[in-house]
Amino acid sequence: MITDANYLTNLPDWSVDHALASAAQNHVVLDPEHIEILQVARAFYDSYGFSPSMRPLCKTVTASLGIEKGRSVYLNQKFPGSPAKLIAQLAGLPVPKNCL
């Protein structure tokens, strides 16, 4: 099930196909680098029980994928607008608590 804001209500329903469809609605074309970031965000959620806001997202991506991919500039290029919110949406996670 999906909310009005296009967030999944049942996290186990997420799939890469869901991410691709949701990305298309947001005018984002996902490549393997996008998918690995979505998977890192889902792993963060599994560990901590909440979606990462921008700072923890950068730290987690840096730890998992390297410093270049963990930079906020890189994440903004890959996920324009509000990267933490868009990543959460595409990864099938709830809206991060302190994202506007």
Active site residues: 99
- Neighbour count for residue 74 (Cβ, 10 Å): 18
CA distance 68 to 5: 30
Q: Tokens 């270049």, residue?
A: 68
CA triplet 20, 82, 92: central angle to 5 degrees?
A: 40
Helix (H, G, I), strand (E, B) or coil at 57: helix
- Alpha-carbon dihedral 34, 96, 6, 11, rounded to 10 degrees: 80
